[in-house]
Structure 1
Amino acid sequence: MQTSVSIIGAGNCGCAFAADLADRGANVLLYAHPEHRRHAETIERKGYLEAGMKIEGRFHPKVSSDMADVVRFSKFIVITVPSYGHDSILSELAKFDLSRHVVISITGNFFALMARRQINARYILETATAPYASRMQDGKVTVMGIKSVMPIAAMPVDVDDDLRDEIGAIFPMPLEWRSNVLEIGMSCITGVIHPTPALMNTGWIETRKGDFYFYREGMSASVARVIGQVDQERMAIAREFGFKPQSVVAIMNSYYSRDFADFGEFARETVEHNTTKMAPTHMRDRFIVQDVPYVLVPWFELGAKVGLHCTAIKSIIDLASIVNDTDYLATGRNLRRLGLDTASKGQVIETFSAPIAASIAAPIAPSIAPWADELRRIA
């Protein structure tokens, strides 16, 4: 039977995924928000989505800006919009019965717990990264690289083997199933790679408007040392919650089947990330406004909950807040917004780890209680 997939988000990742799925014979619906239809309009005007480099061809996904089409088209809904677009998408999806649907957020950034309180999807999944290194421009998506493996997890955690196989058929690489979405959230290494070099290259970004190689030129030895410290703090937090994290270099090596010895070598030599310049053109780029409030903020607060004061992570949050005149600790995806501000370490782990039946039966901390009734409905 031919696979059908609804993709929410007609940007870099969404268009790369649409082209890849179509290339592999799937039926694809590509949803563009009514206020963000630039790429969708180009595809509609040309009559096709063009792809180049790792994926070549012209493809014909169905294009829509009606969320009802998304829900009708497939039981699999893949969300590829940046994290700051999640609230808008969830408010639209909340209008529908999704009890038979599987929602997959790419990249998750602690999406599942937010979503579980708003939609009644059968399962909500998160990936730790995007499947592709890609850029969309003038109706053509250029795919510079495709990951070799994809870390993924579900909430609730009890996904049976048949459904895992169906989900696996959507992706172009093997899935690496992790214990829960908290482990995935601690593995979203864009929080390590993006904000630090963006902030440490602020002058160059604002002067050159992105006209430099973000990895090869922007990640000098000193920048790499700060990146390394942020990564050490991320791994310390993950270990406190019972995980065995890999370093950012080890993760990137696994994604692209490489053998870089350290982050500096990766930044200099990575082909996928040095094919185009990839530097932000301004300081409200997603490298800051996504990866600071939606990745670094929850990391920092989870660390504080277990007694870790992560000075490098906090410094990056503070600098980004000053540069963009925004209190990211207050406005980001903090533990209060996740309903975990008063939860103990054990309750945090339990919240992310429970299957459907256990989620219903187990005592739930007061701050987590609002989505208990929703879990009962799904079961």
Structure 2
Amino acid sequence: MKKVGIVGGGSTGHTLAAELSLRGHEVHLCDSEAYSEILEETARLGEIALTGSMGEGKAKIAMVTTDVGKALDGVDVVLCCTIANRDREAAEMIAPFLRPDSVVLLSSGGLGSLIYRRVFDAKGLTGVVVGETCGNLFPCRLVEPGLCRIGLPYSKKKAAAMPYSDTGKLIDAMAELYELEPAGSILECALNGPNLVGHIVLTLLNAGAIENAKEPYYVFQQGVCRSAMNLADAMWLEKKAVMDTLGLKYGPSSSVTYKKYLDPEVHEYDNFKQLAGPDQVTNRYISEDTPTLVCLFISVAEALGIDVPVFKAMVTVASAVNQTDYYAEGRTLKNLGLGALRGKEVLEFFQTQRGS
């Protein structure tokens, strides 16, 4: 059994802590002082209950703390589950407590491992392995203190490291925890993340319902409609043009899954549709995924000379609604210091370079 450090005081951190503990691993759950209230409540309760697609269970967590150094002392691997907006902060927070050969996995990175790589290298931690998965390890919610709902059972995820040559080490280190398979690069992981299209589509089209809801809003059961499917299809066509140019594989439009949500004979998504949210249009569905994933995609398309007017329109609307210039502050190639890359150089960088 592994000793696992989990960084992240939100839904994913709590869910992974419970799920891994139930399988016999020793889990240390931690985050910064900003998460002291929820972590102290979890510690007081002494256990985390799971419900949803992975069954029912209650897990005792070996350690729950805001003392990051104590939590990461002697762990075999580190799973980082903070939102992408915190990537630099989280990397700086954990760096002092890593061993020279530590292995760090970001649950749904969105190129976050590039940022972690730069932080670690600047601190001389060049031997640390860092990478990310394509999409979150679990769609989940911390429903209330001590209770997490898993929306879908675990399915093998693609993952890659930065640099890509470390991918084998990353996958081997995680083998006892979660089965991963190699993606071609962290860029491939980011562009194939399920939240690239779905969150911005469903949130913006249902803004009025979300903001006026008197009860918790469930966008995956209340917000899916013909208009959302049409919009998702239009964005998928633009994504297809980019992925074809890069020579990368990609899945079908989100509309394929949306149709299943609406089919009363399909029950595999019943727990997923019970994941509440968003509760406002400034929710992370926009404030995290738009600057991190959608803006990244647009910048890659521009580097390839491909116009993506629907994606650009979505960012323009989201920026106007939330009075924030997401593209100016987003995780674009330019803002990552990679603005000079053009054409095939974009993918080659993530396949061959270290990240500095």
Normalising by structure 2, we get a TM-score of 0.90
Corresponding residue pairs, total: 343
Question: Cα offset for 1:248?
Answer: 4.1
Question: Cα offset for 1:41?
Answer: 1.4
Distance (whole Å) between structure 1 residues aligned to residue 37 and residue 343 of structure 2: 44
Question: Cα offset for 1:210?
Answer: 6.1
Report the CA distance shift for 1:215/1:162 in structure 2 as closer, same or farther (over 3 A): closer
Are 2:206 and 1:201 aligned? yes
Preserved contact between residue 18 and residue 61 of structure 1 (Cα < 8 Å):
no
For residues 175-223 of structure 1, the C-alpha deviation after alignment (integer angstroms, 9 at most, x for no partner) is: 2211111110111121211111101111111111564431222111011
Distance (whole Å) between structure 1 residues aligned to residue 168 and residue 195 of structure 2: 30
Preserved contact between residue 220 and residue 273 of structure 2 (Cα < 8 Å):
yes
Preserved contact between residue 50 and residue 57 of structure 1 (Cα < 8 Å):
yes
Distance (whole Å) between structure 1 residues aligned to residue 167 and residue 300 of structure 2: 30
Structure 1 counterpart of 2:154: 147
* Secondary structure of the corresponding residue to residue 171 of structure 2: helix
Structure 2 counterpart of 1:3: 2
Are 2:337 and 1:339 aligned? yes
Question: Cα offset for 1:309?
Answer: 1.3
For residues 54-106 of structure 1, the C-alpha deviation after alignment (integer angstroms, 9 at most, x for no partner) is: 24123223112122224423141111011112122122234455531111111
Are 2:175 and 1:181 aligned? no
Structure 1 counterpart of 2:318: 320
* Secondary structure of the corresponding residue to residue 280 of structure 1: coil
Preserved contact between residue 42 and residue 48 of structure 2 (Cα < 8 Å):
yes
Residue of 110, 122, 129 corresponding to 1:123: 129
Question: Cα offset for 1:313?
Answer: 0.8
* Secondary structure of the corresponding residue to residue 151 of structure 2: strand
Report the CA distance shift for 1:288/1:163 in structure 2 as closer, same or farther (over 3 A): closer
Normalising by structure 1, we get a TM-score of 0.84
* Secondary structure of the corresponding residue to residue 118 of structure 1: helix
Q: In structure 1, what residue type is equivalent to 2:234?
A: Q
* Secondary structure of the corresponding residue to residue 28 of structure 1: strand
For residues 301-335 of structure 1, the C-alpha deviation after alignment (integer angstroms, 9 at most, x for no partner) is: 00011011111111111111001110000111111
Preserved contact between residue 133 and residue 272 of structure 1 (Cα < 8 Å):
no
Question: Cα offset for 1:21?
Answer: 0.9
Q: Please tell me the root mean square deviation across aligned C-alpha atoms, in Å.
A: 2.1
Deviates more, 1:63-72 or 1:29-38: 63-72
User: Which consecutive residues of structure 1, in runs of 5 or more, have no partner in the other structure?
Assistant: 250-260, 361-367, 372-379
User: Which consecutive residues of structure 2, in runs of 5 or more, have no partner in the other structure?
Assistant: 264-268
Question: Cα offset for 1:47?
Answer: 1.9
Q: In structure 2, what residue type is equivalent to 1:143?
A: I
Structure 2 counterpart of 1:244: 249
Deviates more, 1:300-309 or 1:114-123: 114-123
Report the CA distance shift for 1:57/1:243 in structure 2 as closer, same or farther (over 3 A): same
Deviates more, 1:82-91 or 1:142-151: 142-151
Q: In structure 2, what residue type is equivalent to 1:149?
A: K
Preserved contact between residue 4 and residue 78 of structure 2 (Cα < 8 Å):
yes
Preserved contact between residue 52 and residue 140 of structure 1 (Cα < 8 Å):
yes
Structure 1 counterpart of 2:86: 85
Preserved contact between residue 280 and residue 287 of structure 1 (Cα < 8 Å):
yes
Structure 2 counterpart of 1:134: 140
